[in-house]
Structure 1
Amino acid sequence: MGDIETPSSTHPRQTVLLSVLPSKEFASSRKGMLLIAEVALSFVSFICFAASTAAAFVTFPLLEFLTALFLLFAYSIKFNERFKGFLWPLMDFLRCVTASIIFFIISIMSVSKYVDAASKAAGIFGFIATIVFALDFYLIFNELATFLKQGGGETNEEPSRQQGEFSDSDSD
Protein backbone atom coordinates (compact mmCIF):
# COMPACT_ATOMS: atom_id res chain seq x y z
CA MET A 1 0.00 0.00 0.00
CA GLY A 2 2.95 2.31 0.63
CA ASP A 3 4.45 1.58 -2.81
CA ILE A 4 4.17 4.46 -5.23
CA GLU A 5 5.18 2.40 -8.24
CA THR A 6 3.42 -0.77 -9.21
CA PRO A 7 5.24 -3.61 -10.93
CA SER A 8 3.36 -2.89 -14.18
CA SER A 9 4.70 0.69 -14.33
CA THR A 10 8.00 -0.49 -15.90
CA HIS A 11 6.27 -1.11 -19.25
CA PRO A 12 6.19 2.58 -20.27
CA ARG A 13 9.93 2.84 -19.69
CA GLN A 14 10.56 -0.22 -21.83
CA THR A 15 8.38 1.04 -24.68
CA VAL A 16 10.17 4.40 -24.66
CA LEU A 17 13.53 2.65 -24.88
CA LEU A 18 12.30 0.36 -27.66
CA SER A 19 10.91 3.31 -29.62
CA VAL A 20 14.35 4.95 -29.64
CA LEU A 21 16.17 1.83 -30.88
CA PRO A 22 16.04 0.86 -34.57
CA SER A 23 13.51 -1.78 -35.52
CA LYS A 24 14.69 -5.38 -35.61
CA GLU A 25 13.79 -5.75 -39.31
CA PHE A 26 15.87 -2.75 -40.32
CA ALA A 27 18.78 -3.56 -38.01
CA SER A 28 19.06 -7.03 -39.54
CA SER A 29 18.91 -5.72 -43.12
CA ARG A 30 22.05 -5.04 -45.15
CA LYS A 31 21.58 -1.27 -45.02
CA GLY A 32 20.87 -1.39 -41.29
CA MET A 33 24.00 -3.38 -40.54
CA LEU A 34 26.11 -1.03 -42.66
CA LEU A 35 24.70 2.04 -40.90
CA ILE A 36 25.24 0.47 -37.47
CA ALA A 37 28.84 -0.30 -38.44
CA GLU A 38 29.30 3.26 -39.73
CA VAL A 39 27.93 4.71 -36.48
CA ALA A 40 30.12 2.45 -34.34
CA LEU A 41 33.31 2.99 -36.33
CA SER A 42 32.81 6.75 -36.52
CA PHE A 43 32.24 6.91 -32.76
CA VAL A 44 35.29 4.78 -31.95
CA SER A 45 37.39 6.83 -34.36
CA PHE A 46 36.10 10.01 -32.71
CA ILE A 47 37.05 8.74 -29.26
CA CYS A 48 40.51 7.68 -30.44
CA PHE A 49 41.15 11.02 -32.13
CA ALA A 50 39.95 12.89 -29.03
CA ALA A 51 42.42 10.94 -26.88
CA SER A 52 45.34 11.34 -29.27
CA THR A 53 47.73 14.09 -30.24
CA ALA A 54 45.95 14.17 -33.61
CA ALA A 55 43.00 15.95 -32.02
CA ALA A 56 42.75 18.27 -35.01
CA PHE A 57 41.00 15.47 -36.88
CA VAL A 58 38.28 14.99 -34.27
CA THR A 59 35.65 17.08 -36.08
CA PHE A 60 35.02 14.87 -39.08
CA PRO A 61 34.44 11.58 -37.21
CA LEU A 62 32.03 13.43 -34.91
CA LEU A 63 30.08 14.91 -37.82
CA GLU A 64 30.00 11.57 -39.59
CA PHE A 65 28.85 9.84 -36.41
CA LEU A 66 25.97 12.29 -36.06
CA THR A 67 24.89 12.06 -39.72
CA ALA A 68 25.10 8.27 -39.75
CA LEU A 69 23.12 8.15 -36.50
CA PHE A 70 20.49 10.46 -37.98
CA LEU A 71 20.19 8.32 -41.11
CA LEU A 72 20.03 5.14 -39.03
CA PHE A 73 17.00 6.44 -37.17
CA ALA A 74 15.50 8.09 -40.27
CA TYR A 75 15.60 4.84 -42.23
CA SER A 76 14.50 2.84 -39.20
CA ILE A 77 11.32 4.85 -38.64
CA LYS A 78 10.76 5.15 -42.41
CA PHE A 79 11.23 8.91 -42.31
CA ASN A 80 12.49 8.74 -45.90
CA GLU A 81 9.11 7.45 -47.10
CA ARG A 82 7.31 10.45 -45.58
CA PHE A 83 9.48 12.99 -47.43
CA LYS A 84 9.67 11.69 -50.97
CA GLY A 85 10.73 15.04 -52.45
CA PHE A 86 14.08 14.75 -50.70
CA LEU A 87 16.62 12.69 -52.66
CA TRP A 88 17.57 10.23 -49.90
CA PRO A 89 19.64 7.78 -52.00
CA LEU A 90 21.65 10.60 -53.57
CA MET A 91 22.27 12.24 -50.21
CA ASP A 92 23.32 8.90 -48.73
CA PHE A 93 25.57 8.20 -51.72
CA LEU A 94 27.32 11.59 -51.45
CA ARG A 95 27.69 11.15 -47.69
CA CYS A 96 29.36 7.76 -48.14
CA VAL A 97 31.67 8.95 -50.92
CA THR A 98 32.89 11.97 -48.99
CA ALA A 99 33.17 9.97 -45.76
CA SER A 100 35.28 7.27 -47.36
CA ILE A 101 37.60 9.80 -49.00
CA ILE A 102 38.03 11.97 -45.91
CA PHE A 103 38.40 9.01 -43.54
CA PHE A 104 41.08 7.62 -45.85
CA ILE A 105 42.99 10.93 -45.90
CA ILE A 106 42.86 11.58 -42.15
CA SER A 107 43.75 7.95 -41.44
CA ILE A 108 46.85 8.14 -43.60
CA MET A 109 47.87 11.39 -41.93
CA SER A 110 47.16 10.01 -38.46
CA VAL A 111 49.17 6.83 -38.97
CA SER A 112 52.12 8.44 -40.75
CA LYS A 113 52.53 11.73 -38.91
CA TYR A 114 51.71 10.96 -35.27
CA VAL A 115 53.50 8.42 -33.09
CA ASP A 116 51.19 7.89 -30.12
CA ALA A 117 49.10 4.74 -29.83
CA ALA A 118 45.75 6.55 -29.84
CA SER A 119 46.57 8.19 -33.18
CA LYS A 120 47.56 4.83 -34.64
CA ALA A 121 44.34 3.25 -33.33
CA ALA A 122 42.30 6.13 -34.76
CA GLY A 123 44.01 5.62 -38.11
CA ILE A 124 43.30 1.89 -38.10
CA PHE A 125 39.65 2.41 -37.20
CA GLY A 126 39.55 5.10 -39.87
CA PHE A 127 40.82 2.63 -42.46
CA ILE A 128 38.15 0.13 -41.43
CA ALA A 129 35.54 2.90 -41.63
CA THR A 130 36.84 3.76 -45.10
CA ILE A 131 36.18 0.19 -46.22
CA VAL A 132 32.66 0.17 -44.71
CA PHE A 133 31.74 3.53 -46.26
CA ALA A 134 33.19 2.46 -49.62
CA LEU A 135 31.14 -0.75 -49.50
CA ASP A 136 28.04 1.27 -48.68
CA PHE A 137 28.50 3.72 -51.57
CA TYR A 138 29.25 0.84 -53.94
CA LEU A 139 25.98 -0.86 -53.00
CA ILE A 140 24.04 2.41 -53.24
CA PHE A 141 25.61 3.07 -56.65
CA ASN A 142 24.56 -0.37 -57.90
CA GLU A 143 21.00 0.19 -56.67
CA LEU A 144 20.84 3.60 -58.34
CA ALA A 145 22.29 2.21 -61.58
CA THR A 146 19.73 -0.60 -61.78
CA PHE A 147 16.95 1.89 -60.96
CA LEU A 148 18.05 4.16 -63.79
CA LYS A 149 18.45 1.23 -66.22
CA GLN A 150 14.87 0.17 -65.51
CA GLY A 151 13.64 3.58 -66.62
CA GLY A 152 12.97 5.00 -63.18
CA GLY A 153 15.01 8.07 -63.97
CA GLU A 154 12.81 9.37 -66.79
CA THR A 155 11.56 12.83 -66.00
CA ASN A 156 9.55 13.62 -69.12
CA GLU A 157 6.54 14.59 -67.03
CA GLU A 158 8.36 17.21 -64.97
CA PRO A 159 8.98 19.84 -67.69
CA SER A 160 5.41 19.53 -68.95
CA ARG A 161 4.04 20.03 -65.44
CA GLN A 162 6.18 23.11 -64.97
CA GLN A 163 4.79 24.63 -68.19
CA GLY A 164 1.22 23.81 -67.23
CA GLU A 165 0.70 21.36 -70.10
CA PHE A 166 -0.47 17.84 -69.47
CA SER A 167 0.55 16.26 -72.74
CA ASP A 168 0.37 12.70 -71.37
CA SER A 169 -3.40 12.52 -71.78
CA ASP A 170 -3.37 14.37 -75.13
CA SER A 171 -0.83 12.08 -76.82
CA ASP A 172 -2.67 8.80 -76.05
Structure 2
Amino acid sequence: MGDIEAPNSNRPRQNVLLSVLPSKEFASSRKGMLLIAEVALSFVSFVCFAASTAAAFVTVPLLEFLAALFLLFAYSNKFNERFKGFMWPLMDFMRCVSASIIFFIISIISVSKYVDGSSKAAGIFGFIATIVFALDFYLIFNELAAFLKQGGGESNEEPSRQQDEISDSDSD
Protein backbone atom coordinates (compact mmCIF):
# COMPACT_ATOMS: atom_id res chain seq x y z
CA MET A 1 0.00 0.00 0.00
CA GLY A 2 3.01 2.31 0.29
CA ASP A 3 3.28 2.59 -3.50
CA ILE A 4 -0.19 3.97 -4.01
CA GLU A 5 -0.61 7.67 -3.32
CA ALA A 6 -3.52 8.96 -1.35
CA PRO A 7 -6.08 10.86 -3.45
CA ASN A 8 -5.47 14.08 -1.52
CA SER A 9 -1.70 14.14 -2.05
CA ASN A 10 -1.69 17.08 -4.49
CA ARG A 11 0.07 19.25 -1.93
CA PRO A 12 3.70 18.45 -2.93
CA ARG A 13 2.95 19.08 -6.62
CA GLN A 14 1.60 22.53 -5.82
CA ASN A 15 4.72 23.33 -3.79
CA VAL A 16 6.95 22.29 -6.70
CA LEU A 17 4.99 24.49 -9.09
CA LEU A 18 5.10 27.44 -6.70
CA SER A 19 8.86 27.05 -6.28
CA VAL A 20 9.36 27.41 -10.04
CA LEU A 21 7.22 30.55 -10.33
CA PRO A 22 8.73 33.88 -9.27
CA SER A 23 7.79 35.13 -5.83
CA LYS A 24 5.18 37.84 -5.53
CA GLU A 25 7.78 40.27 -4.15
CA PHE A 26 10.13 39.78 -7.09
CA ALA A 27 7.36 39.76 -9.70
CA SER A 28 6.12 43.13 -8.45
CA SER A 29 9.61 44.68 -8.40
CA ARG A 30 10.90 46.74 -11.31
CA LYS A 31 13.44 44.09 -12.34
CA GLY A 32 10.83 41.35 -12.06
CA MET A 33 8.34 43.20 -14.24
CA LEU A 34 11.03 43.91 -16.85
CA LEU A 35 12.12 40.27 -16.94
CA ILE A 36 8.52 39.04 -17.20
CA ALA A 37 7.93 41.49 -20.06
CA GLU A 38 11.13 40.32 -21.78
CA VAL A 39 10.09 36.67 -21.45
CA ALA A 40 6.58 37.36 -22.75
CA LEU A 41 7.66 39.56 -25.67
CA SER A 42 10.43 37.19 -26.72
CA PHE A 43 8.01 34.26 -26.66
CA VAL A 44 5.35 36.10 -28.67
CA SER A 45 7.97 37.24 -31.16
CA PHE A 46 9.26 33.67 -31.40
CA VAL A 47 5.77 32.34 -32.14
CA CYS A 48 5.14 35.04 -34.76
CA PHE A 49 8.47 34.39 -36.47
CA ALA A 50 7.83 30.64 -36.44
CA ALA A 51 4.49 31.17 -38.21
CA SER A 52 5.86 33.63 -40.76
CA THR A 53 7.89 33.50 -43.93
CA ALA A 54 10.70 35.15 -41.97
CA ALA A 55 11.30 31.92 -40.06
CA ALA A 56 15.05 32.37 -40.43
CA PHE A 57 14.88 34.87 -37.55
CA VAL A 58 13.28 32.42 -35.13
CA THR A 59 16.57 31.68 -33.35
CA VAL A 60 17.06 35.12 -31.82
CA PRO A 61 13.73 35.35 -29.98
CA LEU A 62 14.10 31.75 -28.82
CA LEU A 63 17.57 32.35 -27.36
CA GLU A 64 16.48 35.60 -25.72
CA PHE A 65 13.38 33.91 -24.33
CA LEU A 66 15.50 31.17 -22.77
CA ALA A 67 18.09 33.63 -21.40
CA ALA A 68 15.43 35.91 -19.90
CA LEU A 69 13.60 32.90 -18.47
CA PHE A 70 16.82 31.65 -16.89
CA LEU A 71 17.56 35.03 -15.32
CA LEU A 72 13.97 35.38 -14.13
CA PHE A 73 14.30 32.01 -12.41
CA ALA A 74 17.78 32.83 -11.06
CA TYR A 75 16.84 36.25 -9.66
CA SER A 76 13.54 35.08 -8.20
CA ASN A 77 15.26 32.20 -6.38
CA LYS A 78 18.12 34.50 -5.32
CA PHE A 79 20.80 32.51 -7.11
CA ASN A 80 22.63 35.80 -7.61
CA GLU A 81 23.16 35.97 -3.84
CA ARG A 82 24.20 32.32 -3.54
CA PHE A 83 26.60 32.14 -6.49
CA LYS A 84 28.98 35.07 -6.17
CA GLY A 85 31.36 33.76 -8.84
CA PHE A 86 29.24 35.17 -11.66
CA MET A 87 29.12 38.86 -12.42
CA TRP A 88 25.30 38.89 -12.51
CA PRO A 89 24.77 42.59 -13.31
CA LEU A 90 27.39 42.54 -16.05
CA MET A 91 26.00 39.32 -17.53
CA ASP A 92 22.49 40.80 -17.47
CA PHE A 93 23.75 44.07 -18.98
CA MET A 94 25.48 42.29 -21.89
CA ARG A 95 22.38 40.15 -22.49
CA CYS A 96 20.15 43.23 -22.65
CA VAL A 97 22.50 45.21 -24.91
CA SER A 98 22.89 42.38 -27.40
CA ALA A 99 19.18 41.55 -27.32
CA SER A 100 18.09 45.13 -27.95
CA ILE A 101 20.49 45.53 -30.88
CA ILE A 102 19.64 42.21 -32.49
CA PHE A 103 15.89 42.56 -31.93
CA PHE A 104 16.03 46.03 -33.52
CA ILE A 105 17.86 44.72 -36.59
CA ILE A 106 15.63 41.70 -37.20
CA SER A 107 12.50 43.77 -36.57
CA ILE A 108 13.50 46.30 -39.22
CA ILE A 109 14.23 43.50 -41.68
CA SER A 110 11.01 41.60 -40.96
CA VAL A 111 8.81 44.69 -41.24
CA SER A 112 10.44 46.05 -44.40
CA LYS A 113 11.28 42.91 -46.38
CA TYR A 114 8.43 40.47 -45.65
CA VAL A 115 4.79 41.13 -46.54
CA ASP A 116 2.88 38.52 -44.54
CA GLY A 117 1.01 39.55 -41.41
CA SER A 118 2.87 37.34 -38.99
CA SER A 119 6.22 38.80 -40.09
CA LYS A 120 4.85 42.28 -39.52
CA ALA A 121 3.49 41.24 -36.11
CA ALA A 122 6.83 39.69 -35.20
CA GLY A 123 8.54 42.93 -36.18
CA ILE A 124 6.16 45.03 -34.08
CA PHE A 125 6.63 42.77 -31.06
CA GLY A 126 10.36 42.88 -31.76
CA PHE A 127 10.32 46.69 -31.64
CA ILE A 128 8.45 46.60 -28.33
CA ALA A 129 10.97 44.02 -27.04
CA THR A 130 13.78 46.33 -28.19
CA ILE A 131 12.36 49.12 -26.05
CA VAL A 132 11.98 46.86 -23.01
CA PHE A 133 15.50 45.43 -23.36
CA ALA A 134 16.92 48.93 -23.88
CA LEU A 135 15.10 50.20 -20.77
CA ASP A 136 16.49 47.27 -18.80
CA PHE A 137 20.09 47.86 -19.89
CA TYR A 138 19.73 51.59 -19.20
CA LEU A 139 18.60 50.88 -15.65
CA ILE A 140 21.36 48.29 -15.14
CA PHE A 141 23.91 50.77 -16.49
CA ASN A 142 22.74 53.44 -14.03
CA GLU A 143 23.04 50.95 -11.15
CA LEU A 144 26.52 49.92 -12.26
CA ALA A 145 27.63 53.53 -12.67
CA ALA A 146 26.38 54.44 -9.18
CA PHE A 147 28.10 51.33 -7.81
CA LEU A 148 31.42 52.28 -9.41
CA LYS A 149 31.17 55.91 -8.25
CA GLN A 150 30.92 54.67 -4.66
CA GLY A 151 34.16 52.75 -5.04
CA GLY A 152 32.38 49.47 -5.60
CA GLY A 153 35.54 47.63 -6.52
CA GLU A 154 36.33 47.22 -2.82
CA SER A 155 33.61 44.67 -2.09
CA ASN A 156 31.92 41.81 -3.90
CA GLU A 157 28.33 42.82 -3.18
CA GLU A 158 25.94 43.44 -6.03
CA PRO A 159 25.11 47.06 -6.93
CA SER A 160 21.37 46.71 -6.36
CA ARG A 161 21.91 45.29 -2.88
CA GLN A 162 24.37 48.04 -1.99
CA GLN A 163 21.95 50.62 -3.39
CA ASP A 164 19.21 49.24 -1.12
CA GLU A 165 21.52 49.39 1.90
CA ILE A 166 22.45 52.99 1.13
CA SER A 167 18.85 54.08 0.68
CA ASP A 168 17.94 52.34 3.95
CA SER A 169 20.74 54.13 5.85
CA ASP A 170 19.79 57.49 4.28
CA SER A 171 16.25 57.17 5.53
CA ASP A 172 17.43 56.79 9.16
State the match for 2:55 in structure 1.
55
- Give the TM-score, by structure 1 length: 0.85
Give 1:81 deviation, angstroms.
1.0
Q: How does 1:86-97 map to 2 (within 5 A)?
A: 86-97=86-97
Structure 2 vs 1, CA of residues 13 and 154 (structure 1 numbering), >3 Å: closer, same or farther?
closer
- Give the TM-score, by structure 2 length: 0.85
Give 1:43 deviation, angstroms.
0.3
Letter in 2 for 1:19: S
Q: Aligned residues, how many?
A: 152
Give 1:154 deviation, angstroms.
4.6
The structure with the larger Rg is 1
State the match for 1:5 in structure 2.
6
Structure 2 vs 1, CA of residues 4 and 92 (structure 1 numbering), >3 Å: closer, same or farther?
closer
State the match for 2:148 in structure 1.
148
Q: Write the distance in 2 (CA, Å) between the matches of 1:13 and 1:72.
A: 21
Q: Write the distance in 2 (CA, Å) between the matches of 1:99 and 1:86.
A: 20
Q: Which moved more, 1:115-124 or 1:14-23?
A: 14-23
Q: Write the distance in 1 (CA, Å) between the matches of 2:83 and 2:61.
A: 27
Identity of counterpart residues, as a percentage? 87
State the match for 1:124 in structure 2.
124
Which ranges in structure 1 are unaligned for 5 or more consecutive residues?
A: 156-172
Q: How does 1:2-151 map to 2 (within 5 A)?
A: 5-7=6-8, 9-151=9-151
Q: Write the distance in 1 (CA, Å) between the matches of 2:28 and 2:73.
A: 14
Which ranges in structure 2 are unaligned for 5 or more consecutive residues?
A: 156-172
Spell out structure 1 runs of 4+ moving beyond 2 A: 3-7
Task: State the superposition RMSD in angstroms.
Answer: 1.4
SS, match of residue 146 in structure 1? helix
